[in-house]
Amino acid sequence: MIWANIKNALLAKLKEERYFDFSPQENSLIAFMLGDSVTFEQQQQEALSLFATPDEFLQFLVFFKEWSLEKKVGLVSYYLQTKSLDEQKNILTKLADMPDLHDELRSIKQFQSIYLTMAAEKGDVEKVHALVQQGADVNAVLGILFSKAKYATLWWLHAHPEVCEKITQAGMSSAVLEGKDKDMTIADVMLTSKKGGQLLQENARLKDFYPQAIAGEPITTYLSEREAEIQSHQSGFFKPFVHPLAKAFLQQVVRGGMKEAEKMLNDNPRMRQVLLTTKAIVRDHAGRKIEGASLQLALGAKDVSIGRHEEMAEMLERYMKELPDGEKEIAIQKAAQFPEGWEQEEETRKRADSAALKEAFRAIGVSINYAEEERAVNAFKAYLARQKEKVVRTGFHFNDQLYPEALEQYDQHYKRFGGWLSQKNRLAMIKVAGEIECYFTANLAQAMCDGVGKVLDNKAKLSRSLLLKDNSAYSFFHPDLGKSHFVFNFYDAAKRGDASYLPSWARVRVQNLCQTKTLSLQKLMPLQYHRRQTPAWCVMM
């Protein structure tokens, strides 16, 4: 209160000493601001020339930050009366730096429509939802929302049926402003899109906005026929809604983006439950289609710590424990990733992988020309590629025993293939071992980039970089990997001073890292899994 009095006295002194020439209207406004009144309804608009620019107005609010919230709201309302919509948006956006004033303005009806439009134009359905809860009219921005974020908006309406109850005929008749659905009404978009069709099936009230007949038949019949046309293999009318932010989050998890994933959790606290528990199909760097919720994806990739620090799985568990029933959700995801019988499937895959690898080396060995060697390599590549045709839902994403086994085969065939300068050995290393590297999980590739020995010896936290140390222009998953080059363990090569050790030493290092990760993963699992699965967990022994 003392500072408020001092500032009032300073302003009065400036006025009294005529440091500036104020108009009568400006003098009236200054006198009014120095008083106790909190409303500015009686002031003339000409007095606003006191604030030459929007920035001067904002600086004035900062100068009198000790004013009551009610008085500051009154001044903002008075100032914005004659401003254009764009000018109002600009001022209100800048006022976000004053949280108390910003929150109060959002709750005032005359500003809600502006805040609502601003949120819709950004496609921010969470802010739209908060404003709708405060009484804003969602119908006014449906056209904008379907233009900027159709999928997220449909997901939001699906998740919040109470919002659907607020939709009116005017809202359903509003037009999409841009994008592929431009000029279509909201009603038409819902009727012709998969997710919109699901929403109509779920919500009888929304169906009431349509004519009795669509294409000559009742709307219920029309929707049923569309369901038959595009019926999903999953339960429900169409595939379950997946929030776009959740899909992006899971993509970061499966691709080893630990910093990015944690940032998304911190930037979207109200969405944490959705981010951590949503299940979706995403693709990893290898191109595998993998389905699961966040912790499932991390466990399947063996993205676990081998030291006292956190890697992806530990970080996700920490956030999940903060959720309601978080421990239960953790147990559910672990059980889903490693269900009864997953070990047998893992062993079957390992045997098939081993057989295909040995056949590739056998075929290279008996080949008499380059064309036959290429056919042998291409047959192995085709075998690995077929693994990407199925969606991975349980167990490990990748048989990390295959790479050390390939290096062992290389060792065994090295002299037989003709030594260091042999075309057969180059082919085996670049196009067989290198092709297997194309299928590495993100965290295993990141360990290779950091130096497997460095990670293993120091139990070091992954830097999460996929850039190669000797040539940062190349990322690990470069398109030419397995074609013109392979990636070797640069850290250990530099440490030993040469690369002649490569196959045998690298095999041991990678093998030990994968085995250590398997043991760390075992510690994260419930005790019943240890008893049931111990023989199969140590896949690298």
pLDDT tier at 541, thresholds 50, 70, 90:
very low
Banded model confidence at residue 390, pLDDT cuts 50, 70, 90: very high
How many C-alpha atoms does 305 have within 13 Å on its Cβ side? Answer: 15
pLDDT at 181: 87
Confidence at 225, pLDDT banded by 50, 70, 90: low
pLDDT reading at 288 higher than 90:
yes
DSSP 485: B
Cα–chain-centroid distance for residue 133? 26
Six-digit token pair at 199? 């929403």
Say yes or no: 434 and 480 in one domain: yes
Name the residue type at position 67: W
Same domain, yes or no: 162 and 202: yes
The yes-or-no verdict on residue 204 having pLDDT over 70 is yes
Q: Name, in order, each residue with C-beta under 8 angstroms of 527's C-beta and a sequence gap of 6 or more.
A: none
Please state, in angstroms and rounded to a whole number, the distance separating the CA atoms of residues 341 and 346.
Answer: 9
Predicted confidence (pLDDT) per residue in 25-36, tens digit: 777 777 777 667
- Average confidence (pLDDT) over 288-303: 96
Same domain, 318 and 275: yes
Q: Do residues 156 and 129 touch, judged by C-beta distance below 8 A?
A: yes
Six token digits for residue 28 = 């009236």
For range 366-387, the mean pLDDT = 94
Task: Quote the pLDDT of residue 498.
Answer: 43
> Looking at residues 146-171, what average pLDDT do you find?
90
Domain C-terminal end among 289, 315, 337 = 337
371 versus 67: the higher-pLDDT residue is: 371
For residue 362, name the pLDDT band (cuts at 50, 70, 90): very high
Average of pLDDT values for 486-512?
62
Identify whether residues 320 and 355 lie together within a single domain: no
pLDDT over 70 at 228, yes or no? no
* Banded pLDDT at 503 (limits 50, 70, 90): low
Please give the Cα distance from 266 to 256 (Å, whole number). Answer: 17
AA letter at 309: H
3-state class (DSSP) for residue 282:
strand
Cβ neighbourhood burial of 293 (10 Å; 0-12, 13-18, 19+): buried
State the chain's mean pLDDT as an integer. Answer: 82
Is the pLDDT at 461 greater than 90, yes or no? Answer: yes
pLDDT at position 56, please? 77
The answer on 79 and 56 residing in a single domain is: yes
Percent of the chain with pLDDT over 70: 82
Domain-embedded: residue 328: yes
Lowest mean pLDDT among 5-19, 159-173, 367-381, 384-398: 5-19
Compute the distance between CA of residue 81 and CA of residue 281 in angstroms, rounded to an integer: 50
Strand 280-283 to strand 289-292: parallel, antiparallel, or no bridges (unpaired)? antiparallel
Packing angle of the helix pair 442-450, 502-524 (nearest 10 deg): 130
223 contacts 200 by C-beta, under 8 angstroms: yes
> Considering the domain boundaries, does residue 136 fall inside one?
no
Look at residue 122 and tell me if it is in a domain.
Answer: no
The answer to whether residue 541 sits within a structural domain is: no
Assess whether 174 and 305 both reside in one domain.
Answer: no
| 200 and 272 assigned to the same domain | no
Q: Can you tell me the mean pLDDT for 119-145?
A: 90
Q: What's the one-letter identity of residue 449?
A: C
Output the pLDDT for position 163: 93
Q: What is the pLDDT of residues 249-276, one digit of tens each?
A: 999 999 999 999 999 999 988 889 989 9
Are 334 and 295 within 8 A, CB to CB?
yes
Same domain, residue pair 165 and 269: no
Count of structural domains within the chain: 4
Q: How far apart are CA 81 and CA 91, in angstroms?
A: 12
d(CA 127, CA 497): 58
Which residues lie closer than 8 Å to 304 by C-beta, 6 or more apart? Answer: 298, 311, 312, 313, 314, 517, 520, 521, 524
Q: Is 225 helix (H, G, I), strand (E, B) or coil?
A: helix
User: Do residues 490 and 394 share a domain?
Assistant: yes
pLDDT number for residue 533: 46
Asked, for residue 48, whether it belongs to a domain, the answer is yes
Determine the structural domain holding residue 180 and report its residue range: 141-233
Asked if 384 and 517 sit in the same domain, the reply is yes
Reference 440, options 315, 214, 335, 286; nearest CA is: 286
Work out the widest C-alpha separation in the chain, in whole angstroms. 103
| Domain identity same for 276 and 165 | no
Looking at the DSSP bridge assignments, the partners of residue 292 are 280
Domain boundary among 337, 358, 383: 337
Is 458 contained in some domain? yes
Phi, psi of 136 (to 5 degrees): -70, 155
Same domain, 248 and 228: no
Where do we find the tokens 């401003």?
Answer: 83
CA angle 27, 31, 32 (to 5 degrees): 115
pLDDT number for residue 57: 76
Q: Which residues of 196-225 are buried (b: 16+ CB within 10 A; e: fewer)?
A: bbbbbbebeebbebbeeeeeeeebeebbee
pLDDT, residue 3, reads 56
In a domain, 467, yes or no: yes
**Between the CA of residue 267 and those of 92, 112, 118, 264, what are the distances in Å?**
22, 24, 19, 5
Min mean pLDDT across 59-63, 166-170, 487-491, 532-536 is at 532-536
Q: Comparing 197 with 295, which gets the higher pLDDT?
A: 295
With 0-12 / 13-18 / 19 or more C-beta atoms within 10 angstroms meaning exposed / middle / buried, residue 165 is exposed
Averaged pLDDT for residues 124-151 = 90
- What's the half-sphere exposure (Cβ side, CA atoms, 13 Å) at 302? 27
Residue 463 has a CB neighbour count (10 Å cut-off) of 14
pLDDT in tens, 322-342: 999 999 999 999 999 999 989
Note whether 423 and 236 are within 8 A (CB).
Answer: no
Is 440 within a domain?
yes
- How many CA atoms lie within 13 Å of 508's alpha carbon, on the beta-carbon side? 7
Helix ranges, 95-180 (H): 99-106, 109-121, 125-133, 142-148, 150-159, 161-164, 169-173
| pLDDT of amino acid 460 | 93
- At residue 232, the pLDDT reads 44
Structural contact between residues 100 and 67, judged by C-beta atoms closer than 8 angstroms: no
Q: Is the pTM of this model over 0.85?
A: no
Which residue bears the tokens 């966040």? 294
